[in-house]
Structure 1
């Protein structure tokens, strides 16, 4: 099997040491905490955080307002349904009472007609009886 002959073990060790050294220098070259660039970056981060929190608070406030409005609407709808139900029950009660009164009035009228027929029949019988007595 053929191996790659361009880079030896020492070359690889040397390049690895150089990469490690470059990484260490990059880490050491990082600005200090009191550097103006770092302070400005932290201030920007803080401003972004504060803005995010403000937006989240505004969303929460809007959501709470929407929830309260929805609850108020539901309560108003429920009250309207209850009022309609009460009105419907009252209407049905009035209709039932009117039907009962109409039925009672009809029964009274029928009884009056029956009594009138009975009285007329009794009168006819009495008249017929009196005619029979005349001829006896």
Structure 2
């Protein structure tokens, strides 16, 4: 059979108080034991955090350089495309001017030939 233990409220309160005091004492002992290592761990954590920040800054710098390079290449491509378009437009314009000049020359040659024939006809009739 079970042994029935009669514990009154004061006994339970006392036991709880003792248990809490023991836990607090164990916690304080653990903190005191970890104190020498805590500063070293804290310094190590700070060094790790600084190294992480340095790596992040380096990554961001490289990313910025890459974006700048890509933007410069895009600007160069755009400038080359614009230059090619200007050159093509100028070439087209020059071809149009040359064609117009040929038309005027042909027209002048035709008029000169007509005038020559007219003069020859007049000369035949007069002579």
Same fold (TM over 0.5): yes
What interval of TM-score do these two structures reach, taking the shorter chain for normalisation?
Answer: 0.7 to 0.9
Change (3 A) 1:13 1:111: same
Q: Please report the TM-score for the alignment, with normalisation by the length of structure 2.
A: 0.76
Once the two structures are overlaid, the 10-residue window that deviates more, 64-73 or 122-131, is: 122-131
The residue that corresponds to 1:22 in the other structure is: 18
Q: Please report the TM-score for the alignment, with normalisation by the length of structure 1.
A: 0.71
The residue that corresponds to 1:3 in the other structure is: none
Aligned-partner Cα distance in 2 for 1:123–1:109? 21
Aligned-partner Cα distance in 2 for 1:41–1:99? 85
Misfit runs of 4+, over 4 Å:
27-33, 37-40
The residue that corresponds to 2:9 in the other structure is: 13
Deviation at 1:64, TM superposition (A): 0.5
Q: How much is the aligned-residue C-alpha RMSD, in angstroms?
A: 2.8
Q: What CA deviation, in whole Å up to 9, does each residue of 1:100-136 have, x standing for no partner?
A: 22221111111111111111111122222333334xx
Which structure has more RCO (C-alpha within 8 Å, separation ≥ 6)? 1
How many residues are paired up?
124
Q: What CA deviation, in whole Å up to 9, does each residue of 1:31-76 have, x standing for no partner?
A: 988xxx7654112222322222222111111110000111111111
Aligned-partner Cα distance in 2 for 1:56–1:48? 12
The residue that corresponds to 2:81 in the other structure is: 88
Look at both structures and tell me which one has the larger radius of gyration over its CA atoms. Answer: 1
Aligned-partner Cα distance in 2 for 1:103–1:132? 43
Matched, 1:47 2:43: no
Aligned match of 1:110 in 98, 103, 110?
Answer: 103
